[in-house]
């Protein structure tokens, strides 16, 4: 790693790890080579603190980048076509060997006209000034004793126009003061600091932020004890409102702390949130400011979201519920970013209000950012790309630490669902989580310890689910046991154990799930994993035969009870699935071998030969059936039994 890249990583990591510098991972950095021919710059969509020698940066030819600003033909193009052309030109300007598809920051051409080291951030302290109506005057007053005052940059659309404006203003500044500006305040945007060395760039940044913070306030307040049930109720309310307004299934995260409580106590908090987004990040990651909610009422929140959409805006993703806290909808992996941006916005709004009033982005400025491909690209990188017909739905799978439970959890995640992996064995459950994460890096998966035979454990598990994801759409009862043996030899404790796991466990999970689904009022799907043995008894299998038949009949009864709430209940009856199964262990295979008078190694081929298709059933085959029953493709199917056994048992 050369010195220039090392310097870039140094200032990027230092800035990215300082909460006074960065909110939500935004900002970018650059360092020019000593010969002035190239510039290393942060890659678009990379968090500053995550940059390292292998990723998160690009190197560009400075002459090629500067030529973009001087290209007047770009001014003749429509806005979005122009910005796409700029992105392409920046990619062509790269002179490195990076092949991961990353792009240089879209502000690279802006950096090219500044000093050797550049740090661009959106600190809350700076935001209070650049988003205040009297911001320019206040900055001038704050830095009145500086021999070389900061440069104030009036608002321009991000990208090409902003780069041209800064190139002209810096040239004018240099003509006036004999040197380029070290500090730039960008109206409704943020801060640029530029210096000849990394240490001076960081030092100046800290000094500027400290000076801005000097006259700002965030009153210390006492943190309240928030009712967990009140949070659960608010999550279900907002999730339903969002679904009614958009048709989208989302997770809901809850946040509370000093910054949130302090803003909720502001006398004009509600009014401060009505003026529109303050800066691009708030628009991109939150779809605008948080919606103030006096009291959680689904219809009212849904109506407000629908009105936003009707006006051509994206529905808000953050909701500030009075006396409760901040709730954020959307993927778990960007909810924290949304929270940081929302908390920064609260601080900025309260202080900008005291500095002469809040100055938000105009409708025209918002429209440009909403259509700007570069911001869409950045958000996609942060949130990941997901697909599938269960996109955003929240699922719980019991017994998901192994066997069919694991296969089903993986299958649901592949279909786009958010999955809670529930198992009494949390080590095994975490292995399932790791398997999903390895294949689907942008998936949301939680491990929940649950003893399905214990009602307290079940209730705790669902509380953990609401803590983590804020709702429930799918329950798959897959935890099961199969103690085998002849009737005359089977110990009664094994019989009772099978009843507890296979029947009581299914009952307790469905009971808790139905309560949540009913309150949430978005319908839902409960799927009992039964067996072909629930339809056609197998020899020497009394507990399994009885409980698997019972699971089917319970599902039919639940379907009758819950249909009025739009909750569908069905059963899946797998044939013999051997891969990854705890049931098909060596001891069980020996029992089966003895039953049929064959060798243990002949057991699996024997069972496969019983099927009409003469094929071994895999876990994904069962998962496919579960995904179908959980999806809208089966919206008119309830109280039914789907047999996935390669043609062994016919439903009568």
DSSP string, 197-228: SHHHHHHHHHHHHHHHHTT------PPP---H
* Strand runs labelled E in 245-296: 252-255, 291-293
Q: Does residue 650 come out as left (phi exceeding 0), alpha (psi in the -120 to 50 range) or beta?
A: beta
| Element of type H or E holding 244 | helix 228-246
Residue linked to tokens 């691009």 = 280
Q: How far is residue 395's CA from residue 436's CA, in Å, rounded to a whole number?
A: 14
CB 377 within 8 A of CB 103: yes
Tokens standing for 411? 């299958």
The CB density around residue 558, as the number of other CB atoms within 10 Å, is: 24
The residue among 147, 143, 263, 145 whose CA lies nearest residue 191 is 143
Q: Determine phi and psi for 111, rounding to 5 degrees.
A: -60, -30
DSSP 504: I
User: CB pairs under 8 A, 24+ apart, for 426-433?
Assistant: 426/401, 427/401, 428/401, 428/402, 429/400, 429/401, 431/401, 432/400, 432/401, 432/402, 432/405, 432/406
Q: How far is residue 231's CA from residue 361's CA, in Å, rounded to a whole number?
A: 32
Q: How far is residue 284's CA from residue 371's CA, in Å, rounded to a whole number?
A: 10
Pairing of strands 524-529, 567-574: parallel
The residue among 578, 580, 579 whose CA lies nearest residue 592 is 578
Which of 173, 254, 544, 607 is flagged as catalytic? 544
Tokens standing for 242? 């969002």
Q: How far is residue 115's CA from residue 111's CA, in Å, rounded to a whole number?
A: 8
Q: Determine phi and psi for 256, rounding to 5 degrees.
A: -155, 140
Tokens standing for 225? 């004890």
Q: Is 285 a catalytic residue?
A: no
> Is the CA virtual torsion 455, 458, 462, 464 positive or negative?
positive
Q: How far is residue 389's CA from residue 414's CA, in Å, rounded to a whole number?
A: 10
* Strand runs labelled E in 145-189: 151-153, 183-186
3 state SS of 629: helix
User: CB pairs under 8 A, 24+ apart, for 141-150?
Assistant: 142/211, 142/212, 142/215, 143/183, 143/211, 148/177, 148/179, 148/181, 148/182, 150/181, 150/182, 150/183, 150/184, 150/185, 150/208
User: CB pairs under 8 A, 24+ apart, for 605-611?
Assistant: 607/575, 607/576, 608/576, 608/646, 610/648, 611/575, 611/645, 611/646, 611/647, 611/648
* Strand runs labelled E in 433-508: 445-449, 474-477
Q: How far is residue 411's CA from residue 626's CA, in Å, rounded to a whole number?
A: 8
Catalytic residues: 544
């Amino acid at each position: 790693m050369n010195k220039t890249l090392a310097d870039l990583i140094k200032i990027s990591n230092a800035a990215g790890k300082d909460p006074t510098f960065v909110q939500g991972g935004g900002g970018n950095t650059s360092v020019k080579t000593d010969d002035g021919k190239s510039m290393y710059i942060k890659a678009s969509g990379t968090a500053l603190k995550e940059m390292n020698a292998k990723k998160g940066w690009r190197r560009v030819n400075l002459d090629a980048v500067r030529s973009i600003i001087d290209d007047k033909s770009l001014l003749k193009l429509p806005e979005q076509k122009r910005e796409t052309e700029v992105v392409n030109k920046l990619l062509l300007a790269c002179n490195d060997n990076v092949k991961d598809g990353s792009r240089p920051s879209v502000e690279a051409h802006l950096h090219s006209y500044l000093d050797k080291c550049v740090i661009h951030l959106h600190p809350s302290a700076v935001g209070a000034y650049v988003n205040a109506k009297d911001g320019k005057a206040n900055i001038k007053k704050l830095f009145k004793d500086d021999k070389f005052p900061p440069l104030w940059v009036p608002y321009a659309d991000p990208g090409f126009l902003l780069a041209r404006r800064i190139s002209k203003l810096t040239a004018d500044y240099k003509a006036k003061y004999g040197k380029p500006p070290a500090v730039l305040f960008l109206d409704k945007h943020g801060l640029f600091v530029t210096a000849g060395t990394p240490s001076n760039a960081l030092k100046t940044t800290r000094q500027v932020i400290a000076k801005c913070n000097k006259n700002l306030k965030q009153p210390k307040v006492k943190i309240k004890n928030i009712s967990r049930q009140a949070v659960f109720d608010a999550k279900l309310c907002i999730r339903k409102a969002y679904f009614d307004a958009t048709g989208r299934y989302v997770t809901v995260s809850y946040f509370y702390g000093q910054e949130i409580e302090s803003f909720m106590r502001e006398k004009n908090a509600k009014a401060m949130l009505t003026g529109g987004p303050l800066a691009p990040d708030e628009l991109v990651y939150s779809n605008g400011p948080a919606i103030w909610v006096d009291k959680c009422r689904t219809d009212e929140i849904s109506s407000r979201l629908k009105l936003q959409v009707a006006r051509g805006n994206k529905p808000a993703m953050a909701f500030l519920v009075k006396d409760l806290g901040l709730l954020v909808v959307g993927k778990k992996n960007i909810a924290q970013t949304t929270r940081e941006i929302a908390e920064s916005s609260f601080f900025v709004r309260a202080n900008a209000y005291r500095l002469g009033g809040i100055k938000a982005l105009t409708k025209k400025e918002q429209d440009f950012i909403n259509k700007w491909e570069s911001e869409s690209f950045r958000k996609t990188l942060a949130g990941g790309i997901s697909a599938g017909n269960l996109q955003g739905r929240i699922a719980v799978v019991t017994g998901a630490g192994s066997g069919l439970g694991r296969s089903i959890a993986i299958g649901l995640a592949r279909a786009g669902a958010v999955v809670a992996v529930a198992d009494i064995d949390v080590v095994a459950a975490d292995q399932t989580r790791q398997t999903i994460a390895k294949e689907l890096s942008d998936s949301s998966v939680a491990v929940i310890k649950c003893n399905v035979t214990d009602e307290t454990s079940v209730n705790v598990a669902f509380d953990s689910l609401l803590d983590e994801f804020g709702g429930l759409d799918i329950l798959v009862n897959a935890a099961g046991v199969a103690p085998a043996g002849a009737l005359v030899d089977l110990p009664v404790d094994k019989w009772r154990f099978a009843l507890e796991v296979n029947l009581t466990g299914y009952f307790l999970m469905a009971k808790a799930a139905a309560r949540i689904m009913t309150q949430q009022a978005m319908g839902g799907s409960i799927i009992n994993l039964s067996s072909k043995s629930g339809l056609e008894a197998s020899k020497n299998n009394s507990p399994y035969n009885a409980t698997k038949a019972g699971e089917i009949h319970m599902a039919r009864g639940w379907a009758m009870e819950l249909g009025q709430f739009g909750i569908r209940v069905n059963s899946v009856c797998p044939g013999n699935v051997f891969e990854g199964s705890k049931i098909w262990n060596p001891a069980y295979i020996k029992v089966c071998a003895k039953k049929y008078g064959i060798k243990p190694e002949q057991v699996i081929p024997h069972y496969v030969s019983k099927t009409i298709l003469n094929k071994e059933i895999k876990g994904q085959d069962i998962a496919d059936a579960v995904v179908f029953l959980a999806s809208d493709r089966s919206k008119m199917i309830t109280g039914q039994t789907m047999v996935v056994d390669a043609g062994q048992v016919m439903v009568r």
